[in-house]
Amino acid sequence: MSLITTSVTRARTRGQGATSRLLRNPLGVASAVVLVLIVLGAVAVPFLGLPDPGVADLREALQASSTEHLLGTDSSGRDVLSRLLWGARINLAGAVLALMVAVLIGLPTGLVAGYYGGWFDSVANWFTNLNMALPGIVVLLAVRAVAGPSVWISMAVFGVLLSPSVFRIVRAAVQGVRGELYVDAARVSGLGDARIIGRHVVTVVRAPVIIQSARLASIAIAIQAGLEFLGLSDASVPSWGSMLNEGFRRIFVNPSLVLWPSLGIGLTTMALILLGNAMRDALEDRGSSASVRTGRTERIDAADEGRSSLLSVRDLEVSYGIGDAKNTVVFDVSLDVAPGEVLGLVGESGSGKSQTAFSVLGLLPDGGWISRGSLRFEGMELTTLPPQQRRKLRGAGIAYVPQEPLNNLDPSYRIGYQLTEPLRMAMGMSRQAAKERALDLLARVGIPDPEATFRAYPHEISGGMAQRVLIAGAVAGKPKLLIADEPTTALDVTVQAEVLDLLRDLRTESGMGVLLVTHNFGVVADICDRVAVMQSGRIVETGGVQDILECPSHVYTRTLLDSMLDDSGDVRVYTGPTEGEAS
Amino acid sequence: MSFLVKRLGSAVSLLFGASIIVFLMLSPAFGDIAFNVLGENATPEQAAQLNTELGLDQPLIIQYTQWLLGALTGDLGTSLYSTQTVSAALAARMPVTVALVVLVTLLSGVLGFAIGVAAAIKRGWLDRALQFIATLGDALPAFIVALFLVTLFAIQLGIFPATGYTKFSTDPAAWARSMTLPVLALTVVAVAGVAQQVRSSMIAVLRQDFVRTLRSRGLSETRVVLGHVLRNASTTGLTSLAVQVVGILGGAVVIEQIFALPGLGSLAVQASGRSDVHVVLGTVTAYVVIVVVVNLLVDLAIAWLNPKVRLS
Amino acid sequence: MRTTRIMSIAAAAAMALALTACGSSGEPAGNADGTAPLLSIGALLEPTSWDPAQANEGHLAPIYQSLYDTLIKREPNGELSPMLATEWTWSDDELDLTLQLRDDVTFTDGASFDAEAVVANIEHFKKANGPMLGNLSAVESAEVADPHTVVLHLSAPDPDLPESLANAGGYMGSPAALADGSIDTAPAGSGPYTLDTSASVAGSTIAFARNDDYWGEQLPYDRVEFQLLADETARLNALTSGQVNFTILNRAASAVQATGSGLNMAEDFTVNWAGVLFFDRDGEIQPEFADPRVRQALSLAIDREALVEVGWEGLGEVTSQVYGPESNAFDEELESAYEYDPARAKELLEQAGATDMTITFPTSSTFEPVLYDAIFQNWKDVGVTVKAEQWGPGEAIPSMMRGEYAVSFFTLAQRSDWGTVKFLLQEGSSWNPLGSTDPELQQLIDAYPAASEEERPQVAREINTWIVENAWFAPLARPGAFNLWDDTVDVEVQTRQAVPSIYNFTPTGD
């Protein structure tokens, strides 16, 4: 009988697509149908010609189902079906009442508390906590004692008890948008608070409140039935809970009497929750259990000629989904990286360069797969390699330096642990040896106090430091090929240069090949030997760095180069790590 | 330290508010107390006299102040219907409810995490099946689940007792048998909420960049998922578990009635039914204490799991 | 001065076998051969205090009896026999009762039992405002005649006083403990057991250990435990699992279940009557009720046979009178005075002009909802509209006592001839909250104490006949009192007491 519910994740209204998505969800449709049937039954029961739910006939008690009594009779000889439907009226109306009270209290207070904050927020929060600390059932018992057995009073009070969960959701949603630009803009343009709340804020709050309402209605039905079950509400009115109460008294004699009201309560609460979930999924467009199915790679016959001994990619095609839902994002990509060579893979975001890099790593996001082509690493065909073998290649054969340094360290562990864990687990080093190696690496990548950094948590170090840590982690396994995905993009200029220097030095020391994914020709010019330019999933031009920079042959390459020269001040200022997706 | 003080302060202020509300809500029924204490043989004159003796005809503010002064010195008063002090009544009832809540919390925590993790990793049909089952658990009120379990396991199969309670010290095996169905009924409901929350935060964490980086280091999938993803996802899972505990406490009230367990819930129902005001205030106090302790434990666990919280 | 020497008075107030020879044979019918280590009883209620003046009758009786002896003892069949008092005699005007006391009794705290102690107890009882204060309401004072003789002076005759002295009014506690108030929490009596505080857990278990210095014949059990199990199913389970040896159940459905699993139940044992109480016989709240024909009609309209079948699974006897079969007032012919006759009921309502009556009827979740359903349906069938209003937990008795309703359904104990009058019929009776009265009835009531011992049964029957004919109540049934026990114990049920007295248990040796 939880008065508190798991908070509904923030849902945003996304136009008219939501309704059709809802209609495509079979569970959502089924629960909507069940609810509609129950409501129809409750509304139509006076016209169905069923026996009066209150007419007792002791000589007809506990009859089995018959044409006269479809579901049989109860211990007083009353028609079970009739009582079930009349009970639905009471229970549904009670739930609606509780819901209305909860929303009427929770919505305005949540809006005000979320929008203005301040003392009102603190006071409202204290009341919310108080409300949550009071055992709801005790409050309802007390209300019962004072106000009598009226369903309506109990459910109105229960609505008050439910209001905090509306309040919290509304408040959180409002706080979320309060600082957003369009609300600021509205404020600057002189719109009054009331109009801003009415126009901008309420739209944000609508979806979560509707979803939460389904939940609350379900809880209200359960609580009401619970009170009736405990014998605390008016037994003279047919209701599901009072039917349960009577049935439970005779459960040893006749267990079937609890069946029908249980079904009524169970089906209704379930349909409400499922409908709420379906609405949430539709509004959030989460595609809940998104298709994660992948297909088999189509082999190609590629000549061995001209293929590099380190990494050689031929006719790579990357797709998401299968069948009708298949969506191909990379087409016919072929490239080679020789030992000691730095290949720049250049293109705008969405050009497929990262997808290509992840294919080499074997770490495409969920649902992504190599639908065609050949990937060879040191002569090994990667597309047919079992996952276990592939994993063993990572770290020791192919390593990876990511783009956003702070998002790529596990916030829960110290730097030292994150560096030594792969050394111990994947390479079988002892704890001591791993630590020594990690400290060496930290020193090597230019970290001034390796011991301190070793003990630090990710949020305690700067972005530049974090990127050095990640590079240290990547080269820890002495890889042959390093895949660096925009390794400097998130860093400020001075640090960018240092990181590039470091990569260059490491390449020189170990003779590893580097596949450098970037959109920045400055970086290319600084470090790359050769360049491949990608557009819309295809490689449009490949060549030596000198040739490409000086006389690009493809029109797209020229555009890219021009745009870069236009805003020559192009340096992305590091603005701190962006928070990971919070739920 | 200041963290603890703040927690304690808010708990005390909540207790204060809750006790006033409970007192005010029960006060209209004070007139019935004497009749119920004396029983069917007494006359109205006797009842009036008893009211005076019990101080129930005093102004509410005086009655409340007297209780509050007592409570501040650790004296929660005595039941109006027995020789038992409220502290003794709580001490007798607490173990049952605490055992129930602890067992359900542990079980739904373990199961909820396991199901949530499995659903997040496997996705596909397993995910859908688990989601559906979790939704059922989420949607069904605990007492409906309890009735179902009683009918099936106690009445049809006769494996477990339908109701009743045996003390652990009397017979541990019988205790376990008497606790099985109540724990199960509450767990089915609580596990759903935890599993849903764990699943969605697991999915959110799995999408984070550092997971790819960890994989790129050649770590096994098990280590990545259990060592890193789960740890990061568990803070939201634990928060949801804490929320569930409040729900479990509420659900336990009805469950204790159905299974005739002598816990805090049945005490609260019995006492509020006959306006045994000191006992009701005592149970509210006990509930607030349990909720505060659980939240404190969860906060400590989250701080342990999440260094950012710990250091700030 | 006429002195009637009564050795044994039937609990009801003079059964036909009034005068029998005085004898000290009234000791518990204990099994002389065997004792047993432990008797465990599943109890519904716990005492609010150990002060004997706060004792209640019924369910609590065996608990208080373990600690405190009464002046007079009630045998299982209701006859009175000596206990702390060896003899009791009335003065001719029945305003003085002289009791001869035992001289060999000491309380567990060492104080000795004598006439002073009795006076102290009686005075304390009258001051303490206990639930059974009415037991001694007629007693004006108590006087020490000699160290072992005490005289109770009454303000008005009370034929039931000896019975009261065998009940809560007769529990004797140590005068020292009464004086300093310690008896509230530390009982000090002269009973067969003492409270074992170390083994007792308030709210859960009350443990008694044998009082080795007991003056009388020892009871067969070394220890007695009362396990407090307020919940019906908890008691049922405790009994089935052997956790307790004896308990009482309220619901017929659980009694059926218990006997089905091989437990022993007292057959046809009833203590209460269940029925409709028309409080408003003067029509203050419900004007139609002033007409006896309306009350008669409502009584005739109820199908008692069917009610017992569904309401108590057939475990009860249909009746139309509030007096039980063991009372003198009981009249076999009145049993079926109001046999189901809806046609006649309609006729009477028409004659009374009450064809369009709406009755507000309070309901309590204590009783099976089916009972209310049945009564309401029967009344609807004769054209009465019933508006049900539900009491919350604990509201029923206060509400009735305050006279908030014109009518209600309840179950009440069947009392003695005079007890029924005091409890239900007098203008100031607690169960006559609206103070109904009638000159004819009053005359009969006044005649009862004035009548001689031999005439009283006749007067009592006349009173019974009058209230049945005038339908002050619509008694429906005597539901079974479901005393259940396992095979380790033999139990003799106690007339007019929901549970057996502590003296009525003997081990079977199983």
Listed by number, the residues of chain C in 94-133 with a beta carbon closer than 8 Å to a beta carbon of chain B are: 129-133
Structurally, how many domains does chain A consist of? 1
Which residues in B lie closer than 8 A to residue A229 (C-beta atoms)?
Answer: 143, 254
Q: Which chains touch A (3 or more CB pairs under 8 A)?
A: B, C
The CA distance from B198 to B119, in Å, is: 9
- Specify the CATH number for the domain of residue C398: 3.10.105.10
Which residues in A lie closer than 8 A to residue C363 (C-beta atoms)?
Answer: 235-236
Higher pLDDT, B153 or A204: B153
Number of other residues whose CB lies within 10 A of the CB of residue B307: 18
Same domain? C121 vs C206: no
C52 belongs to a structural domain = no
Q: Rounded to a whole number, what is the distance in Å from the CA of A222 to chain C's nearest CA?
A: 20
* Interface probe, candidates B12, B144, B163, chain A, greatest A C-beta count within 10 A: B144
Which residues in C lie closer than 8 A to residue B37 (C-beta atoms)?
Answer: 48, 131
Alpha-carbon distances, residue C260 vs C253, C255, C265, C489 (angstroms): 11, 8, 10, 18
- The answer to whether C385 faces chain A, any CB pair under 8 Å, is no
Same domain? C76 vs C158: yes
pLDDT at B219: 86
Which residues in B lie closer than 8 A to residue A413 (C-beta atoms)?
Answer: 228, 231
Output phi, psi for C298, to 5 deg. -65, -35
CB-based contact C305:C328 (threshold 8 Å): no
Query: Which of C204, C193, C86 is closest to C503 using CA atoms?
Result: C193
- Sequence-separated (6 or more) residues with CB below 8 Å from residue C431: B40, C277, C400, C412, C423, C424
Listed by number, the residues of chain B in 94-153 with a beta carbon closer than 8 Å to a beta carbon of chain A are: 123-124, 127-128, 131-132, 135-136, 138-144, 147-148, 150-151
- Sequence-separated (6 or more) residues with CB below 8 Å from residue C283: C289, C290, C291
- From the list A61, A236, A250, which residue is nearest C390 (CB)? A236
Q: Which of C153, C183, C213 is the last residue of a domain?
A: C183
- The answer to whether C232 faces chain A, any CB pair under 8 Å, is no
pLDDT at A135: 64
Higher pLDDT, C171 or B23: C171
Question: Are C234 and B39 a contacting pair at CB < 8 A?
Answer: no
Closest residue in B to C53 (Cα) is B38
Amino acid identity of B297?
L
Please, what's the largest Cα pairwise distance for chain B?
86
Same domain? C72 vs C106: yes
DSSP collapsed to 3 states, C378-410: HHHHCCCEEEEEECCCCCHHHHHHCCCCCEEEE
pLDDT at A565: 63
- The answer to whether A138 faces chain C, any CB pair under 8 Å, is no
CB-based contact C473:C423 (threshold 8 Å): no
Query: Which listed CATH number (3.40.50.620, 1.10.1130.10, 1.10.3720.10, 1.10.630.10) goes with B86-311?
Result: 1.10.3720.10
Residue C16, classified by CB atoms within 10 Å of its CB into exposed (0-12), middle (13-18) or buried (19+), is exposed
C25 belongs to a structural domain = yes
Q: Which of C183, C211, C243 is the last residue of a domain?
A: C183
Residue ranges per structural domain of chain B = 31-75, 86-311
Mean pLDDT of B112-139: 79
Closest residue in B to C204 (Cα) is B92
The CA distance from C75 to C166, in Å, is: 10
Instruction: List the domain range (segments joined by +) for residue A267.
Output: 17-45+77-284
Q: Rounded to a whole number, what is the distance in Å from the CA of B211 to chain A's nearest CA?
A: 7
Listed by number, the residues of chain B in 6-35 with a beta carbon closer than 8 Å to a beta carbon of chain A are: 10, 13-15, 17-18, 21-22, 25-26, 28-29
Same domain? C325 vs C450: yes
C51 belongs to a structural domain = no
C146 belongs to a structural domain = yes
Query: Which of C219, C212, C266, C242 is closest to C507 using CA atoms?
Result: C219
What is the interface pTM, i.e. ipTM, of the complex?
Answer: 0.76
Q: Which of C183, C211, C244 is the last residue of a domain?
A: C183
Q: Which chains touch C (3 or more CB pairs under 8 A)?
A: A, B
Same domain? C280 vs C407: yes
A182 belongs to a structural domain = yes
Closest residue in B to C238 (Cα) is B164
Which residues in B lie closer than 8 A to residue C403 (C-beta atoms)?
Answer: none
Question: Are C204 and B262 a contacting pair at CB < 8 A?
Answer: yes
Same domain? C133 vs C11: no
The CA distance from B236 to A582, in Å, is: 10
A567 belongs to a structural domain = no
pLDDT at C491: 96
pLDDT averaged over 10-residue windows placed end to end, chain C, 510 residues: 38 34 36 78 90 93 97 95 96 94 95 96 94 92 96 94 95 95 93 92 86 94 91 80 89 87 91 96 95 96 92 92 94 95 96 94 87 92 92 85 94 93 91 94 94 92 96 96 95 94 92
The CA distance from B207 to A335, in Å, is: 28
Question: Which single residue is written with the structure tokens 């050095």?
Answer: A468
Closest residue in B to C230 (Cα) is B260
Structurally, how many domains does chain C consist of? 3
- Specify the CATH number for the domain of residue A219: 1.10.3720.10
- Sequence-separated (6 or more) residues with CB below 8 Å from residue A72: A62, A63, A64, A65, A66, A80, A256
Question: Are A262 and B144 a contacting pair at CB < 8 A?
Answer: yes
Residue A445, classified by CB atoms within 10 Å of its CB into exposed (0-12), middle (13-18) or buried (19+), is buried
pLDDT at A566: 56
* Cα dihedral B256/C204/C237/C275 (nearest 10): -90
* Interface probe, candidates C373, C380, C399, chain A, greatest A C-beta count within 10 A: C373
Q: What share of chain B is helix, strand, coil (3-state, %, to 5)?
A: 80, 0, 20
pLDDT at A187: 67
Q: How many CB pairs under 8 A join A and C?
A: 77
Question: Which single residue is written with the structure tokens 């303490």?
Answer: C128
C62 belongs to a structural domain = no
Output phi, psi for C509, to 5 deg. 90, -5
Q: Rounded to a whole number, what is the distance in Å from the CA of B106 to chain A's nearest CA?
A: 18
* Interface probe, candidates B36, B38, B256, chain C, greatest C C-beta count within 10 A: B38
- Specify the CATH number for the domain of residue C224: 3.40.190.10
- The answer to whether C19 faces chain B, any CB pair under 8 Å, is no
pLDDT averaged over 10-residue windows placed end to end, chain A, 583 residues: 34 53 80 92 86 78 79 82 90 93 90 78 73 69 74 88 83 73 67 72 76 85 84 78 83 78 89 83 56 74 77 90 83 91 88 89 85 89 86 88 85 89 86 91 87 90 87 87 85 81 86 89 87 90 87 84 61 36 34
Listed by number, the residues of chain A in 484-543 with a beta carbon closer than 8 Å to a beta carbon of chain B are: none
Instruction: List the domain range (segments joined by +) for residue C92.
Output: 68-183
**DSSP characters over B271-298:** HHHTT-HHHHHHHHHHHHHHHHHHHHHH
A249 belongs to a structural domain = yes
Which residues in B lie closer than 8 A to residue A421 (C-beta atoms)?
Answer: 217, 219, 223, 227
CB-based contact C457:C16 (threshold 8 Å): yes
A575 belongs to a structural domain = no
CB-based contact A537:A329 (threshold 8 Å): yes
Higher pLDDT, B273 or C494: C494
